[in-house]
Structure 1
Amino acid sequence: METVVKLEVNNKNGYFYIEINGNTEAKMTFVFAGTDKIIIDHTEVNEGHNGKGFGKMMVAKAVEFAREKNLKIIPLCPFAKKVFEKTPEFKDVL
């Protein structure tokens, strides 16, 4: 089964998440900073799903979202920051 990253968003914040069998197993939250930036502030993956790449999938989805909406990302979350440091192809949204 393919793992799909979903998005919930309102006018001030939102989150990317991965749902398996109706349960949210991973979540990455963000807040809007003005009209052209989002701040990724937290990433968590439920126990039992560590090492499956869920965190990186959510960061990749955030990058895709930022590119579509012409936004920049400020990764305050240490995990997201590390993914950006290791993934040069994501640098355009920083």
Structure 2
Amino acid sequence: MEIIKEDEQNRGRYVTVVDGVEAELTYSRMSPHSIIADHTGVPDALKGKGVGKALVEFLIADARQSGTKIIPLCPFVKGQYQRHPEWSDVMN
């Protein structure tokens, strides 16, 4: 699955299209090295296909590469973090 990062000055998103349906994980920038993961949107047509988890894993990899810390306000991102304590290096 291809995930694309769209980054603007104060916000951005990770987006993928699966079977013609778009899913996204959005964030707001707090500082040059800190973001708030604020929403994961996976339509019902994609539920159970691992799309949300793939978006979060892409977020984690991107944060590690760029030295960014994540504040997980989105309930889905927060839930995934609770299952993956090894992500604590990028989570606040």
Calculate the TM-score normalised by the size of structure 1: 0.89
Instruction: Name the counterpart of 2:6.
Output: 8
Identity level (%): 35
Shift of 1:89: 2.1
Q: Does residue 17 in structure 1 map to residue 15 in structure 2? A: yes
Across the aligned residues of Structure 1 and Structure 2, the Cα RMSD in angstroms comes to: 1.3
CA contact (8 A) 2:18 2:46 kept: no
Alignment of 1:44-83 (within 5 A): 44-83=41-80
Number of aligned residues = 91
Deviations 1:43-79 (A, max 9, x none): 0111211011111111111111111110100000001
Q: Which runs of 4+ in 1 moved over 6 A?
A: none
Q: Distance in 1 between matches of 2:24 and 2:89?
A: 23
1:34 to 8, 31, 34: 31
Give ranges in structure 1 of 5+ residues lacking alignment: none
Amino acid in the other structure paired with 1:90 = W
Distance 1:25 1:19, change over 3 A: same
Q: Does residue 86 in structure 1 map to residue 87 in structure 2? A: no
